[in-house]
């Protein structure tokens, strides 16, 4: 039987990504830092370039031709996002700078309005700093408490502990869909089901999930879903906050300015309707059109095929890496995205990163903006190889051979 | 790995594996703690000062090979030196790791420090190499105060 991955032509995909054909230190680039940011296909680069060279203009206010074209492109991009994550309506899609800004928007607006002294916000122990710090700041301001769901040795949420934590004081749950540091895919539906019973809204950090898994916010049952364009082959500086209309409508604006108002006098300002209420100032129009091009590219390729190919890369890399002397993988959840975080006995991750780079291999080393995860596994840092649909098993072989040389150098 | 070996010279690998003057110095008169939040390098530097002279110097902590080797080499160079000589060596070291890559380092003048010339090619690693030196200076100048590379 033919599987989805069999019909996936990775070499053809690679042709669309100009940067993958360059060299680094006179070696072919092997880009395995996709959890940090992904490379861009020509279709995205062209969309951004076409925006600036053909229709650049400000939106929502001009009556001239270009302004109408630009407004149309921006609003079409919103619909593309809506369909991509199966949100009920385009008004529930708020363009932001990225995941971090999306979370901060919810913390500032929903959080300030609904969280008070003695209330509790629940996060997991595998969150990125961006899904910890905004909540910490809010808790500090409101004298609320941040509760942390522990994770087991494999890097999975301990649901018994979550259940115990979820109580009358819980006002919000903020959890990542996929861990950037160790790759765990969380059971979001189980979390939202439990939260719904308790009447608590759930924010999901989808930065690491949308490029790899088919995301359906209605099926997930979450109240807020946030992701960044640049992690799904789109431009930097553009991201998305999805929120349930009922919640967004009740939330106050978080930034004031142009575009988010209906009328302004010095006595009173009337705020605009969704989604503009949350989009003060001229947005990243070019970014939105680039993001739409990226989502179209992913949709055309098919997330099922992408996921199939990436899972093959994950198993191949896991198997090959474990053969290396002294190498230990951090994060061994049953359900993982294509991320392998590892440590090698006696060699600091930063030395591994610098030496791998000289072989043309780009991996991330450090704490991956998830210091609590590092602490949980008692390591100061890890090396992390994170894969995208344009990576090949051949590239994993280059990584493995670079690591062999490094281990030899340090022996 | 020919290019990489310019940074990871045998001397560096050796000091990383067998760091000299490693561990606490119980009777120290001066100490400081250095931390590089970017990569988690974390060291203590302990000194026994006799007036203006460094009678003994140790370091302890964890970090990458570059930071550890640099700390280890530093301790071997500073034992018995005066404060002014220590500061002069720090200056030489600092000038070396921040000098333009094209500039050939004066290996005779630099002595053992010359092995760190390769760091210049890796701007993100200069902090690793300098951490122990900053920590030493903080111990001597502001005994007990921690330093951070950020």
- Percent of chain A past pLDDT 70, that is, above it, reads 99
pLDDT at position B150, please?
61
**pLDDT for position B3:** 61
Q: Which pLDDT band, with edges at 50, 70 and 90, does A377 fall under? A: very high
The model's pLDDT over A250-291, given as tens digits with 9 standing for 90+, comes to 999 999 988 888 999 998 989 999 999 999 999 999 999 999
Per residue in A21-53, pLDDT (tens digit) is 999 999 999 999 999 999 999 999 999 999 999
Domain holding B68: CATH number? 3.90.1010.10
A263 and A230 in one domain? yes
Where chain B has pLDDT below 50, the residues are 1-2
**Listed residues A254, A279, A299: the one ending a domain:** A299
pLDDT of res. B102: 85
Residues 6+ apart with CB under 8 A from B23: B58, B60
Q: Which of A172-181, A209-218, B19-28, B116-125 has the lowest mean pLDDT?
A: B116-125
Is A156 in the same domain as A267?
yes
Residues of chain A contacting residue B11, judged by C-beta atoms under 8 Å apart: none
Place of tokens 């109240």: A223
Domain tally, chain B = 1
Does residue A72 share a domain with residue A22?
Answer: no
Is the pLDDT confidence value at A184 over 90? yes
Task: Report residue A164 as tokens.
Answer: 């115990």
Residues A332 and A374 in one domain: yes
Residues A395 and A32: their CA atoms lie apart, in Å, by: 9
Q: Are residues A114 and A195 in the same domain?
A: yes
CA distances from residue A195 to A87, A119, A162, A164 in whole angstroms, order as listed = 20, 15, 10, 12
Residue B104 resides in a domain:
yes
- What's the confidence (pLDDT) of residue B2? 45
- Best residue of A348, A355, A366, A371 to probe chain B, by most B CBs closer than 10 Å: A348
Quick check: A111 pLDDT over 90?
yes
Q: Do A114 and A205 share a domain, yes or no?
A: yes
What residues of A are annotated to the active site?
Answer: 369
CB atoms within 10 A of CB A236: 16
Give dist(CA A237, CA A250) in Å, integer: 27
- Say which CATH number the domain at A204 has: 3.40.640.10
Residue A150 and residue A281 in one domain: yes
Confidence (pLDDT) at A62: 79
- pLDDT tens by residue, A387-398: 999 999 999 999
Residue where a domain terminates, one of A274, A299, A324? A299
A204 and A282 in a single domain? The answer is yes
In terms of residue numbers, what domain contains A405? 4-37+302-410
- Using left for φ > 0, alpha for ψ between -120 and 50, and beta otherwise, residue A87 falls in beta
Interface A-B, measured as beta-carbon pairs within 8 A, has a size of 47
Give a yes or no: residue B145 inside a domain: no
Picking from B13, B17, B63, the nearest residue to A348 by CB comes out as B63
> From the candidates B5, B8, B64, which should be mutated to test the interface with A, based on the most A CB atoms within 10 A?
B64
- Residues A182, A57 within the same domain: yes
Is residue A1's pLDDT more than 70?
A: no
Q: Which residues touch A118 (CB under 8 Å, ≥6 apart)?
A: A143, A144, A145, A169
> Residue B104 has what pLDDT?
85
**Chain A residues within an 8 Å CB radius of B125:** 350, 354
The pLDDT confidence band at residue A66, using thresholds 50, 70 and 90, is very high
pLDDT-based confidence at A2, cuts 50/70/90? low
- pLDDT above 50 for A149: yes
Same domain assignment for residues A69 and A207: yes
Question: Is B149 domain-assigned?
Answer: no
Concatenated DSSP letters for A117-175?
A: TT-EEEEETT--GGGTHHHHHHHHHHT-EEEEE-B-TTS-B-HHHHHHH-STTEEEEEE
Query: What is the count of structural domains for chain A?
Result: 2
Q: What is the pTM (predicted TM-score) of this model?
A: 0.93
Same structural domain for residues A120 and A264?
yes
Measure CA A149 to chain center.
Answer: 20
Residue-level pLDDT at B144: 73
* CATH code of residue A363: 3.90.1150.10
User: Are A214 and A277 in the same domain?
Assistant: yes
Q: Which domain holds residue B22?
A: 2-140
Asked if A409 and B5 come within 8 Å (Cβ–Cβ), the reply is: yes
């Amino acid at each position: 039987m033919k599987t989805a991955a069999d019909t996936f032509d990775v070499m053809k995909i690679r042709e669309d990504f100009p940067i993958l054909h360059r060299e680094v230190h006179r070696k072919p680039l092997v880009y395995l830092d996709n959890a940090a940011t992904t490379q861009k296909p020509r279709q995205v680069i062209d969309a951004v370039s076409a925006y600036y060279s053909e229709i650049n203009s400000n939106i929502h206010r001009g009556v001239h031709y270009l302004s109408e074209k630009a407004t149309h492109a921006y609003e079409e991009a919103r619909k593309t996002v809506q369909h991509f994550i199966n949100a009920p309506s385009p008004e529930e899609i708020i363009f932001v700078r990225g995941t971090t800004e999306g979370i901060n928007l919810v913390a500032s607006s929903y959080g300030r309005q609904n969280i008070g002294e003695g209330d509790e916000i629940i996060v997991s122990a595998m969150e990125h700093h961006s899904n910890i710090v905004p909540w910490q700041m809010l808790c500090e301001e409101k004298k609320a408490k941040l509760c942390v769901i522990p994770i087991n040795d494999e890097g999975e949420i301990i649901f018994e502990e979550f259940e115990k934590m979820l109580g009358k004081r819980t006002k919000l749950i903020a959890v990542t869909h996929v861990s950037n540091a160790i790759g765990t895919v969380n059971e979001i539906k189980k979390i939202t089901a439990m939260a719904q019973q308790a009447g608590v809204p759930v924010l999901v950090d989808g930065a690491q999930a949308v490029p790899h898994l088919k995301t359906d916010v209605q099926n997930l049952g979450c109240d807020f879903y946030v992701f960044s364009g640049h992690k799904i082959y789109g431009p930097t500086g553009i991201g998305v906050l999805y929120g349930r209309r009922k919640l967004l409508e009740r939330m106050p604006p978080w930034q004031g300015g142009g575009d988010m108002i209906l009328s302004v006098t010095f006595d009173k300002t009337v705020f605009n309707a969704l989604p503009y209420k949350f989009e003060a100032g001229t947005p990243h129009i070019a970014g939105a059109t680039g993001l739409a091009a990226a989502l179209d590219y992913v949709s055309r390729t098919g997330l099922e095929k992408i996921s199939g190919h990436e899972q093959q890369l994950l198993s191949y890399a896991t198997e090959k890496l474990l053969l290396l002397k002294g190498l230990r993988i951090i994060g061994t959840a049953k359900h993982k995205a294509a991320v392998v975080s590892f440590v090698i006995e006696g060699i600091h991750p930063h030395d591994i990163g610098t030496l791998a780079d000289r072989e043309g291999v780009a991996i991330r080393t450090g704490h991956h903006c998830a210091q609590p995860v590092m602490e949980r596994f008692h390591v100061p840092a890890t090396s992390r190889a994170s894969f995208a649909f344009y990576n090949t098993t051949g590239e994993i072989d280059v990584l493995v051979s670079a690591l062999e040389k490094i281990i030899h150098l340090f022996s | 790995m020919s290019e990489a070996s310019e940074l990871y010279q045998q001397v560096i690998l050796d000091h990383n594996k067998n760091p000299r003057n490693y561990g606490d110095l119980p009777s120290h008169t001066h100490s400081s703690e250095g931390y590089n939040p970017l990569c988690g390098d974390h060291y203590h530097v302990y000194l026994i000062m006799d007036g203006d002279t460094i009678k003994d110097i140790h370091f302890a902590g964890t970090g990458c090979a570059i930071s550890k080797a640099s700390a280890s080499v530093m301790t071997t160079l500073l034992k018995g030196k005066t404060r002014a000589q220590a500061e002069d060596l720090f200056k030489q070291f600092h000038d070396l790791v921040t000098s333009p890559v094209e500039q050939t380092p004066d290996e005779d003048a630099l002595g053992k420090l010359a092995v760190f010339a390769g760091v210049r090619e890796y701007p993100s690693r200069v902090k690793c190499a300098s951490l122990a030196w900053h920590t030493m200076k903080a111990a001597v100048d502001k005994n007990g105060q921690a330093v951070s590379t950020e």
